[in-house]
Structure 1
Amino acid sequence: MSSRRVVITGLGLISPLGNSPESLWNALSSGVSGVDVLQRVPADHLTTDIGGECREFSGDIADFGEVEKKLKRNIKKSLRLMCREIQLGVAAAQFAIADASLGDHHDPSRVGTLFGSDYIITEPAEFASGVANCLNDDHEFDFSTWAENGLTKVEPTWLLKYLPNMPASHIAILNDLQGPSNSLTVREASANLAVAEAMTIIQRGSADAMIVGSTGSRIHPLRTVHVVLQEALADRNAPGIDGDATKACRPFDSHRCGMVLGEGAGSIMLENLDSAQQRGATIWGEVVGYGSSLVAPGGVPDYETAFENVIHGALETAKVTADEIGHVHAHGLSSIAVDQQEATAIRKLLGETPVTAAKSYMGNLGAGGGMVELIASVLAMKNDQLFPILNYDSPDEACPINAVAASTNPGDQFLNLSCTPQGQASSVIVRKFE
């Protein structure tokens, strides 16, 4: 690797706590939760009826920020080929690009795109007309008629709305970004891994800047059913929650009982320090280290070892010691098992380093969570104030971390952690730029 330094020059997000860094920070610094009763999906048949929804995002062109006339027209044309998750990602990226103020101060061939996502599921409504057209006299679906009567009723371009490489594709095409482009589908680990790959692309001189982000959702007519069947979700009637949706997500608390559904996207502009300084860009922070690890012997995730590995990896690539980390932004899923193993790994390698978790304010945003959480910690460093873990009322002895229970100093660099249910963990270290 060269000695090129990689800095953050733009921030953008769509979240349950608002669609700007300012709204996100206002919520975090004042202890406001974005979790409420679900509105986007019917919950009568589910085991949960709460989640962190992006209620201020409708998919209207106004939700993509202030853009010039030609770009606005092109985004409007492209919207019909974007499902909600892709719209969230594209909007977050447009905000980050605007915040970076690249303008005409860049060579399009030297700016790339790297975006992470979950696997994106088609909404059942895409096939509703086709299915209805294949019902027999007994109102049973007749698959033998699908090719002739059903498929013809499906929009020919439906698949383009759900391909996980489409966020990066739309962003690059809309903004004429001709540099390296890639898409990662590593669920919750995607954000940190996207940052790591983009960082190394810039370091080796393959690009001068990269728009990097991730988008995800656990709130979806079909995906939510999958989550309910596969993962432990918070019960808002459990002790300590007592019916209050805002108290349901409580990482590392002894009364935690599962994760909370969420949706959202985040994006940052990464840039070579020299080019950023030459054009007088605002610098939010510097990316200095990263780690990646999958540990699942026999198919059983070992979260503790995976977290240990990515903490080690990030410290080594950043060439820093544990006592130089100002705070840890934990994955903080609010799961009994994952929180315990994450806490054990943090305690073992980072000791008394303060730990926070923004999921307590908004739930699990899927692939989008890691990036929104990274942005939250960048804002904490910028404001010299680390927000506490929301709903951390009753410490769990099995989670021996220094959990942030009141505002404190965020330090000059932080470690961001994420992990998938399959045991794929990722990490990034961001340093305050001075």
Structure 2
Amino acid sequence: MERVVITGIGAISALGIGADTNFTQALGAQSGIDLAQVDSAHHHIAQVAAQIRFPLPDLIKKAEAPLFDRVALLAWIAASEALQQAGIDPTQHDLTDSGVFWGTGMGGANTLEAAYVDLFVAEKNRVRPLSIVAGMNNSSASHIALKAGFGGSVMTFSSACVSSAQAIGEAFRHIRHGYAPRVLAGGSEALLTFGVMTSWEALRVIAFADPDDARRSCKPFSSDRSGLVLGEAGAAVMLESLSSAQARGATILAELVGYGTSNDATHMTKPDPHGQARAMRMALAQAGMGAAGIDYINAHGAATAAGDIAETTSIKEVFGAHAAALMVSSTKAVHGHTLGAAGALEFVLTVQALRTQSVPPTAFLTQPDPLCDLDYVPNEARLNQSVRAAMSNSFAFGGSNVALIATPFPNN
């Protein structure tokens, strides 16, 4: 079995452009959440969102723009950063067996909504000619493969909020079993449209705007939490076999050592702690690690009433007495819930925590929920910690659960 290492990371979210920027902002509890600004001539959105409000880097040609939904733009921005850091050069490496595994929950939501507006609001007779190509869920993965020259397996995972975590985990398996020397894995989401946001609001899981400061509206594990905050993002991880990375002299950022995935098989929207616990136990078993080996968990922590309690319960079930010694934090408090991109974005932040031995806080946790009684690293980062191994949790509607475990490299 091949060991799987990380040689590049990339990210863009409401916190900014770049993996380092995103981690610095999360470490400082700097929120990217505010009142939503969604273009609609006929409707008004009264929600908070973790929205990218700055211009996107100009990384594609003008002629390519009709082929790219916003979700694919975010994907390529994150992917290009990871590729550059990894030092992957198509002129020097054979990339015909390199793959792209990408996750998204909603795919080309902006393209789809624009088509519906053209047909049903503007009463046009046709939609934009490339709507299918831009809107299809596999568009992001295909664009990355085309622009990077990766000719191996290209797969798209759409499993709601675990989509990109699952993409990373399945890429780990793909490399571990020798199917490819490297896979660029991650996910992107750009769903802040009137239709999507209104649909989520109908579920009654969206947070109310904080009356004093909209930036503080997402409050995981807090007794005054009122729900999740939708966000947009792209995040990428360049995974490679250890032999491939060493052969080309790549800088290794961390090692991916465990992946667990399960399904609750109990309810479409109500989380089951036992299903979550199965994923965490699988990841620990894959890593050959006991529960006491984990020092930090980047929690799913979406700030829903039931979800945060269920995750607290599942962590206690898996870690037993060691649960009290864990540092656990939810960075969604500052970058929102980016759905299909969430697992990848949070895994990138987890890798950064390992590299810097610093743990980002759960921001705005001033009123702890007595039913969420672990060490949720409230409000302030923990610097200069001993983080031997870290877990990143992702849970989803539909009952899917994913846990990923990474360690520093080299490790003992």
With the length of structure 2 as denominator, give the TM-score of the two structures. Answer: 0.92
Matched, 1:56 2:54: yes
After TM superposition, give the deviation of residue 56 of structure 1 in Å: 2.5
Per the alignment, residue 119 of structure 1 pairs with 106
After TM superposition, give the deviation of residue 257 of structure 1 in Å: 0.9
Equivalent residues of 1:19, 1:56 under 8 A apart: no
RMSD: 2.0
After TM superposition, give the deviation of residue 372 of structure 1 in Å: 0.9
Identity of aligned residues (%): 28
Question: CA separation in 2, counterparts of 1:257 and 1:210?
Answer: 38
Corresponding residue to 1:77 among 63, 80, 98: 63
Corresponding residue to 1:407 among 378, 381, 405: 381
Amino acid at match of 1:380: A
Equivalent residues of 1:79, 1:87 under 8 A apart: no
Per the alignment, residue 314 of structure 1 pairs with 283
Matched, 1:423 2:390: no
Question: CA separation in 2, counterparts of 1:340 and 1:269?
Answer: 33
Q: 1:322-353: CA deviations, max 9, x gaps?
A: 11001011001000101110111112222121
Corresponding residue to 1:10 among 8, 11, 22: 8
Q: Closer, same or farther in 2 for the Cα pair 1:123/1:33, shift >3 Å?
A: same
Question: CA separation in 2, counterparts of 1:360 and 1:300?
Answer: 21
Question: CA separation in 1, counterparts of 2:41 and 2:166?
Answer: 33
- Map 1:329-368 to 2 at 5 A: 329-350=298-319, 351-352=323-324, 353-368=326-341
Equivalent residues of 1:7, 1:284 under 8 A apart: yes
Equivalent residues of 2:165, 2:186 under 8 A apart: no
- Map 1:138-157 to 2 at 5 A: 150-151=124-125, 153-157=126-130
Q: Closer, same or farther in 2 for the Cα pair 1:381/1:331, shift >3 Å?
A: same
Q: 1:19-55: CA deviations, max 9, x gaps?
A: 1122112212222111112123459966743111112
Equivalent residues of 1:304, 1:342 under 8 A apart: yes
Corresponding residue to 1:284 among 239, 246, 253: 253
Q: Closer, same or farther in 2 for the Cα pair 1:57/1:303, shift >3 Å?
A: farther
Q: Which runs of 5+ in 1 are unaligned?
A: 65-71, 135-149
Per the alignment, residue 96 of structure 1 pairs with 82
Amino acid at match of 1:234: A
After TM superposition, give the deviation of residue 294 of structure 1 in Å: 1.3
Q: Closer, same or farther in 2 for the Cα pair 1:252/1:46, shift >3 Å?
A: farther
Q: Closer, same or farther in 2 for the Cα pair 1:189/1:57, shift >3 Å?
A: farther
Instruction: Count how many residue pairs are aligned between Structure 1 and Structure 2.
Output: 400
Aligned partner of residue 411 in structure 1, secondary structure: coil
Corresponding residue to 2:231 among 236, 240, 262: 262
Q: Which has the larger radius of gyration?
A: 1
Q: 1:188-239: CA deviations, max 9, x gaps?
A: 1112211111111111211111111111144122111111112411112xxx
Equivalent residues of 1:344, 1:400 under 8 A apart: no
Per the alignment, residue 144 of structure 1 pairs with none
Per the alignment, residue 26 of structure 1 pairs with 24
Equivalent residues of 1:180, 1:206 under 8 A apart: no
Structure 1 range deviating more: 313-322 or 78-87: 78-87
Q: Which runs of 5+ in 2 are unaligned?
A: none
Aligned partner of residue 398 in structure 1, secondary structure: coil
After TM superposition, give the deviation of residue 299 of structure 1 in Å: 4.7
After TM superposition, give the deviation of residue 384 of structure 1 in Å: 1.5
Q: Closer, same or farther in 2 for the Cα pair 1:44/1:395, shift >3 Å?
A: farther
Structure 1 range deviating more: 108-117 or 217-226: 217-226
Equivalent residues of 1:253, 1:393 under 8 A apart: yes
Per the alignment, residue 241 of structure 2 pairs with 272
- Map 1:114-193 to 2 at 5 A: 114-120=101-107, 121=109, 122-131=111-120, 134=123, 150-151=124-125, 153-193=126-166
Amino acid at match of 2:65: L
Question: CA separation in 2, counterparts of 1:372 and 1:113?
Answer: 16
Amino acid at match of 1:126: A
Equivalent residues of 1:217, 1:368 under 8 A apart: no
After TM superposition, give the deviation of residue 93 of structure 1 in Å: 0.9
Question: CA separation in 2, counterparts of 1:292 and 1:16?
Answer: 28
Per the alignment, residue 171 of structure 2 pairs with 198
Per the alignment, residue 294 of structure 2 pairs with 325
Question: CA separation in 2, counterparts of 1:247 and 1:32?
Answer: 10
Amino acid at match of 1:21: A
Q: 1:46-88: CA deviations, max 9, x gaps?
A: 6743111112244xxx343xxxxxxx54xx4332112111211
Aligned partner of residue 215 in structure 1, secondary structure: strand
Question: CA separation in 2, counterparts of 1:44 and 1:269?
Answer: 42
After TM superposition, give the deviation of residue 132 of structure 1 in Å: 5.9
Per the alignment, residue 108 of structure 1 pairs with 95
